Amino acid sequence: MTFLGKYSDATYALMRVVFAFLFMSHGIQRVFAGIWPIMPINVANVLECVLGPLIFVGFLTPIAAFIASGEMAFAYFYAHVPRGSIIPLNNMGEITVALCFGFLYIASRGGGRYSIDALMGKNR
């Protein structure tokens, strides 16, 4: 057992919540442009505003996280690679890659113990 092994359910929930918050922050920033700088609203922004809260609370988590992972993969190749490099450090895509693989992991594991999915008996 690792040093924090007994807290793995709680740390997984914390990771899920933080990743979801980071993800939905981008969508909220653009959809609610009256508060933040005006940016065009697109499908990605709407997905971030819908999928982010689902992942945050752990509802329909595998599906929502899988779609979010795919969106981040698309965003990386659409918005970051054209900046002249496939290397995330060189094209400012580090958070995009981290969210992509983080959501892929979440999709494979589900909502975890501390989620609505678990309360509904769909996870653990």
**Any domain includes 4:** no
pLDDT digits (tens, 9 = 90+) for 56-100: 999 999 999 999 999 999 999 999 999 999 999 999 999 999 999
Name the residue range of residue 28's domain.
Answer: 9-117
Asked whether 23 and 55 are in contact (CB, 8 A), the reply is: yes
Q: Report yes or no on 104 lying in a domain.
A: yes
Q: Any idea of the CA torsion for 61, 67, 68, 69, to the nearest 10 degrees?
A: 100
User: What is the pLDDT at residue 1?
Assistant: 61
Q: How far is CA 103 from CA 4, 25, 68, 72, in A?
A: 22, 15, 6, 9
124: in domain: no
* CA–CA distance, 42 with 30 (Å, rounded to integer): 9
Number of domains observed in the structure of the chain: 1
Q: Answer whether residue 25 is part of any domain.
A: yes
Q: Is residue 122 over pLDDT 70?
A: yes
C-beta of residue 96 within 8 angstroms of C-beta of residue 80? yes
Would the pLDDT of 38 be above 70?
no
Q: Supply the pTM of this predicted model.
A: 0.90
Residue 17 · residue 106 · CB < 8 Å: no
Q: Which residue has the higher pLDDT, 30 or 40?
A: 30
Q: How confident is the model at residue 32 (pLDDT cuts 50, 70, 90)?
A: confident
- Distance in angstroms (rounded) separating the CA atoms of residues 84 and 8: 39
**Any domain includes 3:** no
Residue 123: inside a domain, yes or no? Answer: no
pLDDT given at position 102? 98
Task: Tell me whether residue 79 is in a domain.
Answer: yes
pLDDT, mean over the chain: 91
56 located within any domain: yes
Distances (CA, A) of 14 to 40, 80, 110: 31, 27, 13
Instruction: Give the pLDDT score at 26.
Output: 86
